[in-house]
Chain A
Amino acid sequence: MAVIEAGRIRPSRDSWWNNPAVRGIAYQVILIVAILAFGGWIANNTVTNLRERGIASGFGFLGQRAGFDMTTLLPVTSDSTYGEMLVAGLVDTIVVSFFAIVLATILGLIVGIARLSSNWLVRTIATIYVEVLRNIPPLLVILFWYLAVIAAFPSIREAIQLGPDFSLSNRGIFMPRPVFGANFHYVLIAFVISLIVAWAVRRWAHARHMATGKTFHSGWLALGIVVVVTLAVYFMTGDPLTFEVPVKTRFNINGGWTVSPEFASLLFALGVYTASFIAEIVRSGILAVSHGQTEAARALGLKQGQLTRLVVLPQALRVIIPPLSSEYLNITKNSSLAVAIGYADLVSVGNNVLNPTGQSIEVVLIWMLFYLGISVVISFAMNVFNARIALTER
């Protein structure tokens, strides 16, 4: 009864268009042909449009005279080329991102640890900080610093004196500028050499501790080596560092170092905004270290400082590093909001370049390549660091 005649059961999918491999290739070919056709259509439209508007494509415009002024960290004038302008903007982006990353990391670390404090008041303040800052747009934070905080500082005449030559006003922060004398490079060389010596001493002490169990408190010695050697060379070469003090004139302050209101607002806004995210990352990283680890470390007799440094932090860092690196990327990308307050970063400079030249495709391409490049560099650096601290398993 249940005999199946040979030949009656056939594979149901015997036709070639039901073969998954054939279908897979077909889907890919269709997608790629569609993308190529779409790209060709766009390229064709673009060429037609550009010809009609009389815009030459290509990067030749980078060598032309810019004809507009921007206040950047690198000295550029209206006689500089578009290319130099863009490089200056790029440097500004990197500088403000770097300082904002430093500020956000320090602040985020403090707030993140404060959220875990046993002290109710400290914990509550940190929680409120995080919940408020995390839930408002970064652009609003930047505008708030720029329009509501720094603009509300007193004018230059009634500037707040923070120190003898440090003053705070609605034109920015003024501070003395270091002027390096002729012999300053000797001091730098001495500093680097003393750092290497100090590092070697620490290494030797650690190796001996591991080999013999004898401790040697190399920390103070290492610090002493660096300070004494650097200071000795500094005084031997005859005081090669002087400060140019900002001088108050009737309407302005000349000389010295000025932190512009735009730079300061962008830096503080990115710093305090991102710190709220970093605080949460730090908190979850510390919570991820199991309680047994701290208990075991206590049972071994480690002091609180050693416990944090040797047991908790290395394990917490493993959880912290990957999301932290994406926060660093976010700071770099959010620094493009500078265009809202006129800090001359890559995007604001590019905006000023694409208006007179009409080279919008090239400028947008430069932006995208730069930010993608930065993303790759930061992820690469963080991956290397992550690989170093990752758990080494058998």
Chain B
Amino acid sequence: MTDMQSQQDVFFVRREIVPSSKPPMRVHGPIAWMRTNLFGSVGDAILTLVGLVIVIAVVVPLVQWAFINATWNGDNREACAANTVGACWAFVKANMGQFIYGRYPDPERWRVNLFFVLLAAGIIPMTIPSLPYKGWNLVYLFIVFPLVSGFLLVGGLFGLPPVETPLWGGLFLTLVVSYVGIAVSLPLGVILALGRRSNLPGIRVVCVTIIEVGRGVPLITVLFFAGILLPLFLPNGVNFDKLIRALFGVALFASCYMAEVIRGGLQAVPRGQYEGAKALGLGYWRMTRLIILPQAISIVIPGIVNTCIGLFKDTSLVYIISIFELLSTVRNSFTDPTWATSTTPASGLVFAAVVFWVFCFGMSRYSAFVERRMQIGLRH
């Protein structure tokens, strides 16, 4: 007892917890963040300064041009003619209808709007993994939607006045061309990829030739082929609409790239899956349809989306056979004397760039999302 007491006298025992002190400034807070991320060493500091110079040299003039000095309102070129240091958004605003719908007649534009809604109604649920009925969604996207929107846009039935394809244009036509390109190139790509991996040499040679020629030449030459040569190849009197010919060229071109992406998926399916399917007594078509393709395609969804991004960007080339999608509509409006000023081209092109960017960036984010999701599945 006395021992314990004397010990208590000798030793100090803290009974309450010390309030925690603040972490030193060097490892926490904005200054520390700057030390590690911006000024870690002399070289780092120099790099940061170079970066700052780049930011100031690019961002400041850009913001001034696009926002501070820009002309936002006006009815014709006089609003923008005096302003040579800022964007002419009034021009974009005035031509917005044309940029979206092309020359589609004014009273019929609701049909294009309905097309946008129908398209979104098919694509948005497809991209959300937790929503059910993916099979019906595919049926809608690949069969119902094209039929309905085809009748809707072309017209001539059910009291809808017909609208000829030369009047189509703008963002709407860009979406039509990319949609058709994607919808045709997916099944065609699957067929070409299967053909390329076939055991039958005759079929393999044909598919390899189509794929490699399509991938070896620029889209422009394929479009020239579709635009100029196709009428020569068909019997006299048979003539397809120019838009159909362009769609044919784009779809054929995209199929070759899609085929290579899907072939990657087919090769990634483990051998055991093929062997297991054969051991169960499935024939080639049932094995492909039930076992191989579902796995192969879900592996390469990111690759398919990347091909779609490429296709979406490539639609800008159909202007070569005078079909006026978004970029060429914008470009045509530069020559419009009501709006021709020195800053008009830059404003129009920046607007088109933003539109293309939003679509492509959205798709690339989706592709990255799918990729992450698949990696989670593989971790088990």
Task: Report A's interface with B, CB cutoff 8 A.
Answer: 24, 27-29, 31-32, 35, 42, 45-46, 48-50, 52, 117-122, 125, 131-132, 134-140, 143-144, 147-148, 151-152, 333-334, 336-337, 339-340, 347, 351, 354, 360-361, 364, 367-368, 371-372, 375-376
Cβ of B27: which chain A residues have Cβ within 8 Å of it?
none
Q: Given the complex of chains A and B, what is the CA–CA distance between A140 and B328 in angstroms?
A: 10
Q: Do A147 and B349 have beta carbons less than 8 Å apart?
A: yes
Q: Given the complex of chains A and B, what is the CA–CA distance between A59 and B32 in angstroms?
A: 72
B232 within 8 A of A: yes
Q: How many residues of B contact A (CB 8 A)?
A: 58
Q: Given the complex of chains A and B, what is the CA–CA distance between A24 and B202 in angstroms?
A: 9
Cβ of B36: which chain A residues have Cβ within 8 Å of it?
118
Q: Given the complex of chains A and B, what is the CA–CA distance between A336 and B316 in angstroms?
A: 13
A147-B345, A337-B317, A372-B217 as given contacts; A135 in contact with B357, CB under 8 Å: yes
Cβ of B349: which chain A residues have Cβ within 8 Å of it?
140, 143-144, 147-148
Cβ of A147: which chain B residues have Cβ within 8 Å of it?
334, 345-346, 349
Cβ of B225: which chain A residues have Cβ within 8 Å of it?
364
Q: Do A372 and B213 have beta carbons less than 8 Å apart?
A: yes
Q: Given the complex of chains A and B, what is the CA–CA distance between A134 and B217 in angstroms?
A: 21
A31-B206, A119-B48 as given contacts; A136 in contact with B232, CB under 8 Å: no
Cβ of A143: which chain B residues have Cβ within 8 Å of it?
327, 331, 349
Q: Do B232 and A360 have beta carbons less than 8 Å apart?
A: yes
Cβ of A121: which chain B residues have Cβ within 8 Å of it?
37-38, 47-48, 51-52, 55
Q: Do A152 and B357 have beta carbons less than 8 Å apart?
A: no
Q: Do A368 and B221 have beta carbons less than 8 Å apart?
A: yes
Interface of B is mostly: helix
Specify which of B51, B216, B233, B331 is in contact with A375 (CB 8 Å cutoff). B216
B309 within 8 A of A: yes
Cβ of A131: which chain B residues have Cβ within 8 Å of it?
361
B54 within 8 A of A: yes
- State the Cβ distance, B349 to closest chain A Cβ, in Å: 5
Q: Given the complex of chains A and B, what is the CA–CA distance between A212 and B236 in angstroms?
A: 81
- Extra 6 A-B pairs, beta carbons < 8 Å, given A144-B349, A351-B224, A364-B229: A28-B200, A137-B316, A137-B327, A140-B349, A140-B353, A371-B216
Query: Of all chain A residues, which has the CB nearest B334?
Result: A147
Q: Do B51 and A347 have beta carbons less than 8 Å apart?
A: no
Chain B positions 27 through 51: 1 when the CB is less than 8 Å from some CB of chain A, otherwise 0: 0000000001110100010011011
Q: Do A49 and B346 have beta carbons less than 8 Å apart?
A: no
Query: Of all chain B residues, which has the CB nearest A125?
Result: B51
4 closest cross-chain pairs (CB), A and B = A28-B202, A135-B360, A148-B346, A120-B37
Q: Do A152 and B221 have beta carbons less than 8 Å apart?
A: no
Query: Of all chain B residues, which has the CB nearest A367?
Result: B221
Q: Given the complex of chains A and B, what is the CA–CA distance between A135 and B309 in angstroms?
A: 8
A28-B203, A368-B217 as given contacts; A139 in contact with B360, CB under 8 Å: no
Cβ of A144: which chain B residues have Cβ within 8 Å of it?
346, 349-350, 353
Cβ of B51: which chain A residues have Cβ within 8 Å of it?
119, 121-122, 125
Q: Given the complex of chains A and B, what is the CA–CA distance between A364 and B230 in angstroms?
A: 12
Best-surrounded residue of B220, B309, B313, B316 (most CB of chain A within 10 A): B220
Q: Do B218 and A49 have beta carbons less than 8 Å apart?
A: no
Q: Do B316 and A139 have beta carbons less than 8 Å apart?
A: yes
Q: Do B229 and A361 have beta carbons less than 8 Å apart?
A: yes
- State the Cβ distance, B62 to closest chain A Cβ, in Å: 11
Q: Given the complex of chains A and B, what is the CA–CA distance between A333 and B309 in angstroms?
A: 17
Q: Do B224 and A364 have beta carbons less than 8 Å apart?
A: yes
- State the Cβ distance, A122 to closest chain B Cβ, in Å: 5
Best-surrounded residue of B199, B228, B360 (most CB of chain A within 10 A): B228
Cβ of A117: which chain B residues have Cβ within 8 Å of it?
47
Q: Do B327 and A140 have beta carbons less than 8 Å apart?
A: yes
A118-B40, A119-B40, A152-B342 as given contacts; A136 in contact with B233, CB under 8 Å: no
Q: Given the complex of chains A and B, what is the CA–CA distance between A360 and B223 in angstroms?
A: 12
Q: Given the complex of chains A and B, what is the CA–CA distance between A45 and B234 in angstroms?
A: 6
Q: List 27 A-B contacts (CB under 8 A).
A: A28-B203, A31-B202, A45-B236, A46-B232, A49-B231, A119-B51, A120-B38, A121-B47, A121-B51, A121-B52, A125-B54, A134-B364, A140-B316, A140-B327, A143-B349, A144-B346, A147-B334, A147-B346, A148-B345, A333-B218, A360-B228, A361-B232, A364-B221, A364-B229, A371-B221, A372-B216, A376-B216
Q: Given the complex of chains A and B, what is the CA–CA distance between A122 and B213 in angstroms?
A: 41
Query: Of all chain B residues, which has the CB nearest A120?
Result: B37
Q: Given the complex of chains A and B, what is the CA–CA distance between A323 and B83 in angstroms?
A: 45
Q: Do B200 and A24 have beta carbons less than 8 Å apart?
A: yes
Cβ of B54: which chain A residues have Cβ within 8 Å of it?
125
Q: Do B220 and A364 have beta carbons less than 8 Å apart?
A: no
